């Protein structure tokens, strides 16, 4: 039984891990882009992005999962209904009527990426804004372009500064993956819960903690290692 549970949880953990990796892979670069938006000199873009971040950070991820998964389908049905009853028509309505639910896993990753990109963007923004103006000016008077100053001078300093808050957020992500079962993506906790219903066993649920702990432990070590690697200079 123990072996069977272990393997079943491992299966669930694969999904957990995939959610984690895919979210990181897309949310990190997207977060950087969003952070540029939130520091944009064009007021309209800046406030649009800031409002978006406020909405995403101000609502539960669980709710966002539900909206992303069921939302498009609901809009599609509503538009079809409206066209059928003649309440509305036109190209936009036709287009809305073609909306349908996303594939489960896609919807899940989409919601996670948007949510985490917003959190990451605020960490990036804090990091970028904490770099003294003198660094930009020194690069500029040495004839570097803006892009060179960002990538050659500023970015490494930002990375060093944001590793502690980033590692915090990334470890939170590991545990947030358990929300996937809200839209029935079967991650590790769901696999453990099965055993309550089918066999009346509670311990597999507790057993999942071992997986989380091990995984977060590895991440903690990894971040410690990176921090040490960057210890050769001080900002």
Query: Rounded to 5 degrees, what are φ and ψ at 42?
Result: -75, 115
Kindly tell me which residue out of 140, 167, 178, 193 binds other proteins, with binding defined by CB under 8 A: 140
How many other C-beta atoms can be found within 10 angstroms of the C-beta atom of residue 234? 6
What single string gives the DSSP state of each residue in 102-140?
PPHHHHHHHHHHHHHHHHHHHHHHHHHHTS-HHHHHHHH
Measured from the CB of residue 137, what is the shortest distance to other proteins in angstroms? Answer: 6
Q: Does 146 bind other proteins (CB under 8 A)?
A: yes
Is the CB of 42 or the CB of 141 nearer to other proteins?
Answer: 141
Measured from the CB of residue 160, what is the shortest distance to other proteins in angstroms? Answer: 8
User: In the window 110-139, what residues touch other proteins (CB under 8 A)?
Assistant: 132, 134-135, 137-139
Write down the H helix ranges in the chain.
2-38, 43-58, 61-84, 91-97, 104-129, 133-141, 146-148, 155-176, 188-199, 203-229
Q: Does 150 bind other proteins (CB under 8 A)?
A: no
Q: Does 58 bind other proteins (CB under 8 A)?
A: no
Is the CB of 91 or the CB of 147 nearer to other proteins?
Answer: 147
Distance CA 123, CA 104 (A): 29
Q: Does 152 bind other proteins (CB under 8 A)?
A: yes
Measured from the CB of residue 222, what is the shortest distance to other proteins in angstroms? Answer: 20
Query: Rounded to 5 degrees, what are φ and ψ at 17?
Result: -65, -40
Q: Does 232 bind other proteins (CB under 8 A)?
A: yes
Kindly tell me which residue out of 33, 142, 210, 222 binds other proteins, with binding defined by CB under 8 A: 142
Q: Which two tokens stand for residue 2?
A: 């123990």
Q: Footprint of other proteins on this chain (CB under 8 A)?
A: 132, 134-135, 137-146, 148, 152-153, 156-157, 160, 232-235
């Amino acid at each position: 039984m123990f072996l069977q549970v272990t393997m079943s949880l491992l299966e669930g953990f694969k999904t957990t891990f995939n959610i984690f990796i895919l979210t990181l892979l897309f949310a990190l670069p997207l977060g950087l882009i969003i952070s540029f938006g939130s520091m944009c000199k064009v007021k309209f873009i800046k406030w649009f992005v800031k409002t978006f971040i406020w909405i995403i950070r101000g609502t539960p991820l669980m709710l966002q999962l539900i909206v992303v998964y069921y939302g498009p389908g609901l809009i599609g049905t509503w538009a079809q209904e409206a066209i059928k009853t003649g309440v509305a028509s036109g190209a936009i309505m036709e287009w809305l009527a073609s909306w349908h639910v996303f594939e489960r896993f896609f919807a899940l990753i989409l919601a996670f990426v948007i949510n985490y990109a917003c959190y990451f963007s605020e960490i990036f923004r804090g990091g970028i804004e904490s770099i003294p103006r003198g660094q930009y000016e020194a690069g500029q008077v040495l004839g570097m372009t803006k892009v060179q100053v960002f990538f050659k001078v500023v970015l490494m300093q930002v990375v060093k500064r944001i590793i502690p808050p980033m590692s915090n957020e990334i470890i939170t992500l590991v545990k947030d993956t358990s929300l996937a079962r809200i839209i029935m993506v079967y991650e590790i906790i769901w696999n453990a819960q099965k055993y309550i219903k089918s066999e009346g066993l509670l311990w597999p649920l507790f057993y999942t903690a071992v997986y989380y702990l091990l995984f977060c432990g590895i991440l903690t070590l990894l971040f410690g290692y990176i921090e040490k690697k960057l210890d050769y200079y001080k900002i």
